[in-house]
C-alpha cells in the first residue's frame, strides 16, 4: 500500500563526515498513515541555523503552497486585477499571512506524532463522518478546479483544436503519470512539484515583465490597506481572494506531510528545531506563492483595468490571434475576464507568445495540484474513517466525481459556464473553511495533547479572529446571494442546509471553547472531552 519510499543514504555531519547515529526515534510508521517511512533529517555537529538542515526539511511547505497557486487562485487574481486594479493587492498579502498562521498550527500539531486527521477516531461518529464529508467535498471541488484549468490550458495551447471536453478527459492520463512518478520516492516527487512552481514563476513573471506595471502603484497597493472608490463588486472580489487562498484540505495535508521527516519527539529541543525549520520553509514557500499571485493580479490591474469590450475586440482583430476576436462583443461594457479570456487578451495585446506562455502557466497550476489533492484525500480518509486505500483507488474516487460534472458542462455548454463553475468552487472553499480551521485550533489548544507546545494567548486570539473573519465572510456571501433567488421554492431547501451548516459550526465552536479552557461546557453527560483526552489529567512528561 506503499507511499513513496524513504530516501536512502547516510546523513552527513560537519565537513561531510558521517554524523553520529541519531537519537532513538519512535517507529517510522504511524498506524493508519499514508507514508510507510520517514525521510532522514540531517544531524549537524554545529549549533545554530543550518541551510543543509533546512534543505532536509524542505518539501512539505512547497507541496502545501501549491494549493495557493491552483487555477482557482489564478482566476481570482486576474478578476481582482481587472475589476479593482492594484487596490486589492493588500488583501492578497494579508490573506497569505492568514494562510501562514493556519499552516503554522498544522505544523505544530504532529508534535505528539499524530497529524490532524489521526486524532479523530476519538470523536463521536456522527460529527466525525460529517467532517470527513465536508473535507471530501472541498477536495473534490479543488480537483474540479484543476481539471477546468488543465482543460482550458490544452484548448489554448492547441488553438482550439482540442475541445474543452477532450482536455477534461486528458486529465485522466496525467494523473496516471503522477502515480508512476510517485513510485520513485517522495523527494523526487517534491522536486518535480518544485519544477512546476518554477514554471509558474517564470511564465507569470514573463507576463509581468512584458506588461511593466507601475512599480510605485504596485507597492502602494500592497502596503496601503484601503480601497478608494470601491463598491459591492470590489468587495466581492476581496472576499473571493480569502476563499481562493486558504483551502480547507490543505491544512490536513500539511499536518500529515510534516510527519515524513524523522524527528525524535521525545526531545523537546528537536521538536522546537523542527518547528522552526518547517515554519521557515513555509514562509519561503508562501512568499513565492504570493509573488506569483501578485504577478497575475498586477498584470491585469495594469493592462486591463476597466477595459471595454470594443477596445479588446478591435485589438484582437488586428493581432496574430484574430480568431479569438468574436469572444468579445463590440460594445462599451467593461470586459469580463477569466482564465480563458485572460490568455486571449494577453495574446491580443502582446502577441501569440504571451498567450502560449500564459497557457503553460495555467497547465502547470492545474497539474501541480493534482497529486496534493490525492494525498490529502488519503490522509483524511485514513484519519476520519480508518480506511486505507491505494493511491490509484483514491485518484479514481476523487477524479470520477470531479470529471463527470465537468465533462458534461464542457461538452454541452461553453467556456464561460466552465469558468463560472470555477468561481462557484472558490466560494465553496470559503464556506467549507471553518471545518478545517476550527479543528486545528481545537487540538493545538489542548494542553493534555500538546503539553509545552500548546497555543499561547496570542496564538489563540489571532486564530479566533481568523475564524470569526471566515464565518463573517460566509455570512456575507449568504446575505448577498439570497436576493438573487427568483423562486420561493429555493428558500426551503436552502434554509434546511443553512440550519444544518450553522448547527455543525456551533458544535465545533463548542468543542473549541472547551479546548480553550471553558471546561464547564464538557461536564454533565461528558466525563471526558470528546477527543479521547481527559481535561482533568495533566499532560504526560514524555513524548512531545
CB of 227 within 8 A of CB of 234?
yes
Please give the Cα distance from 381 to 132 (Å, whole number): 7
DSSP-derived 3-state class of residue 230: coil
Give a yes or no: residue 152 inside a domain: yes
Q: What integer pLDDT is reported at residue 181 of this predicted model? A: 72
Rounded CA separation 252/245 (Å): 15
Contact 62, 283 (CB under 8 A): no
CA distances from 412 to 101, 164, 328, 336, 441 (A): 42, 10, 21, 22, 43
3-state helix, strand, coil in the chain (%, to 5): 70, 0, 25
In the prediction, which pLDDT does 297 show? 94
Residue 288 counted as domain residue: yes
**What pLDDT score was predicted for residue 349?**
87
What pLDDT is recorded for position 11?
A: 35
pLDDT number for residue 111:
57
Q: How far apart are alpha carbons 496 and 214 in whole angstroms?
A: 49
What pLDDT sits at residue 235? 82
Query: Grid coordinates representing 475?
Result: 455570512
Q: What is the pLDDT of residue 7?
A: 36
Question: Mind listing the pLDDT tens digit of every residue in the chain (544 residues)?
Answer: 334 333 333 333 333 444 444 444 443 344 334 454 556 555 555 567 888 888 888 888 888 888 888 888 888 898 899 888 899 999 999 999 988 988 888 888 765 555 555 555 556 677 888 888 888 888 888 888 888 888 889 989 988 888 888 888 888 777 777 777 767 777 887 888 888 899 999 999 999 999 899 999 999 999 998 888 888 788 888 878 887 888 888 888 888 888 877 777 777 788 888 888 999 999 999 999 999 999 999 999 988 888 888 888 888 888 888 888 888 888 888 888 888 888 888 898 888 899 999 999 988 888 777 777 777 887 888 777 777 777 777 777 877 888 888 888 888 777 777 777 877 787 788 888 888 888 888 888 877 777 777 777 887 888 888 878 877 777 777 777 667 666 667 778 888 888 898 898 888 888 888 877 777 776 654 445 555 555 554 444 443 3
Tell me what pLDDT residue 204 has: 92
Contact between 128 and 118 under an 8 Å Cβ cutoff? The reply is: no
What are the cell numbers at 93?
A: 498579502
**Cα–Cα distance for residue pair 53/61, rounded to 1 Å:** 15
SS3 string of 251-315? HHHHHHHHHHECCCCCCHHHHHHHHHHHHHHHHHHHHHHHHHHHHHHHHHHHHCCCCEHHHHHHH
pTM over 0.85: no
Strand partners, 261: 39
Q: What's 59's domain CATH number?
A: 1.10.4160.10
Label residue 412 exposed, middle or buried (CB < 10 Å: 0-12, 13-18, 19+): exposed
Residue 316 forms part of a structural domain: yes
Residue 141 lies in a domain: yes
- DSSP for 395-425 reads HHHHHHHHHHHHHHHHHHS-HHHHHHHHHHH
CA distances to 207, 276, 361 from 357, rounded to whole Å, are: 8, 37, 6
Residue 147 included in any domain: yes
Q: For residue 40, tell me if it sits in a domain.
A: no
Q: Is 532 among the domain residues?
A: no
- What are the φ/ψ torsions at residue 261 (nearest 5 degrees)? -105, 130
Compute φ and ψ for 12, nearest 5 degrees. Answer: -100, 140
314-321 own/partner pairs: CB under 8 Å, 24+ apart: 315/348, 315/349, 316/344, 316/348, 319/347, 319/348, 319/349, 319/351, 320/347, 320/351, 320/352, 321/347, 321/348, 321/352, 321/355
Domain count across the chain? 1
Residue 47's SS3 state is coil
Domain range enclosing 383: 47-414
**Domain-embedded: residue 276:** yes
Amino acid at each position: 500500500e506503499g507511499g513513496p519510499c524513504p530516501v536512502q543514504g547516510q546523513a552527513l555531519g560537519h565537513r561531510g563526515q558521517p554524523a553520529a547515529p541519531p537519537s532513538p526515534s519512535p517507529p517510522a510508521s504511524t498506524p493508519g498513515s499514508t507514508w510507510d517511512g520517514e525521510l532522514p533529517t540531517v544531524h549537524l555537529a554545529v549549533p545554530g541555523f543550518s541551510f543543509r538542515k533546512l534543505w532536509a526539511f524542505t518539501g512539505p511547505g512547497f507541496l502545501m503552497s501549491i494549493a495557493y497557486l491552483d487555477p482557482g487562485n489564478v482566476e481570482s487574481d486576474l478578476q481582482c486585477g481587472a475589476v479593482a486594479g492594484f487596490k486589492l493587492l493588500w488583501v492578497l498579502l494579508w490573506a497569505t499571512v492568514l494562510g501562514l498562521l493556519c499552516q503554522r498550527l498544522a505544523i505544530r500539531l504532529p508534535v505528539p506524532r499524530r497529524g490532524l486527521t489521526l486524532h479523530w477516531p476519538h470523536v463521536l461518529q456522527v460529527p466525525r463522518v460529517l467532517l470527513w464529508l465536508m473535507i471530501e467535498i472541498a477536495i473534490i471541488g479543488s480537483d474540479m478546479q484543476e481539471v477546468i484549468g488543465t482543460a482550458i490550458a490544452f484548448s489554448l495551447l492547441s488553438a482550439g483544436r482540442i475541445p474543452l471536453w477532450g482536455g477534461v478527459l486528458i486529465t485522466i492520463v496525467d494523473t496516471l503519470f503522477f502515480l508512476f512518478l510517485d513510485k520513485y520516492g517522495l523527494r523526487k516527487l517534491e522536486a518535480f512539484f518544485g519544477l512546476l512552481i518554477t514554471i509558474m514563476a517564470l511564465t507569470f513573471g514573463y507576463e509581468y515583465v512584458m506588461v511593466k506595471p507601475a512599480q510605485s502603484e504596485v507597492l502602494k497597493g500592497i502596503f496601503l490597506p484601503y480601497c478608494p472608490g470601491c463598491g459591492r463588486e470590489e468587495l466581492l472580489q476581496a472576499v473571493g481572494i480569502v476563499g481562493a487562498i486558504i483551502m480547507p484540505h490543505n491544512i490536513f495535508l500539511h499536518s500529515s506531510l510534516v510527519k515524513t521527516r524523522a524527528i525524535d519527539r521525545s526531545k523537546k529541543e528537536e521538536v522546537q528545531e523542527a518547528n522552526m525549520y518547517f515554519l521557515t520553509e513555509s514562509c519561503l514557500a508562501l512568499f513565492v506563492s504570493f509573488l506569483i499571485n501578485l504577478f497575475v493580479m498586477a498584470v491585469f490591474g495594469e493592462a486591463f483595468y476597466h477595459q471595454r469590450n470594443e477596445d479588446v475586440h478591435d485589438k484582437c482583430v488586428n493581432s496574430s490571434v484574430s480568431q479569438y476576436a468574436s469572444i468579445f462583443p463590440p460594445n462599451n461594457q467593461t470586459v469580463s475576464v477569466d482564465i480563458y479570456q485572460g490568455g486571449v487578451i494577453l495574446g491580443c495585446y502582446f502577441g501569440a507568445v504571451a498567450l502560449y506562455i500564459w497557457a503553460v502557466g495555467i497547465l502547470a497550476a492545474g497539474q501541480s495540484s493534482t497529486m496534493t489533492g490525492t494525498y490529502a484525500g488519503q490522509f483524511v480518509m485514513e484519519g476520519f474513517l480508518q480506511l486505507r486505500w491505494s493511491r490509484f483507488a483514491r485518484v479514481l474516487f476523487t477524479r470520477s466525481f470531479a470529471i463527470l460534472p465537468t465533462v458534461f458542462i464542457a461538452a454541452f455548454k461553453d467556456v464561460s459556464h466552465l469558468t463560472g463553475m470555477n468561481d462557484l468552487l472558490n466560494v465553496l472553499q470559503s464556506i467549507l473553511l471553518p471545518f478545517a480551521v476550527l479543528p486545528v485550533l481545537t487540538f493545538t489548544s489542548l494542553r493534555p495533547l500538546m503539553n509545552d507546545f500548546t497555543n499561547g494567548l496570542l496564538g489563540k486570539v489571532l486564530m479566533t479572529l481568523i475564524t470569526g473573519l471566515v464565518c463573517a465572510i460566509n455570512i456575507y456571501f449568504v446575505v448577498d446571494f439570497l436576493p438573487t433567488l427568483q423562486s420561493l421554492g429555493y428558500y426551503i431547501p436552502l434554509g434546511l442546509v443553512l440550519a444544518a451548516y450553522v448547527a455543525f459550526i456551533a458544535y465545533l465552536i463548542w468543542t473549541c471553547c472547551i479546548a480553550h479552557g471553558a471546561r464547564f461546557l464538557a461536564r454533565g453527560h461528558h466525563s471526558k472531552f470528546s477527543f479521547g483526552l481527559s481535561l482533568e489529567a495533566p499532560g504526560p512528561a514524555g513524548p512531545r
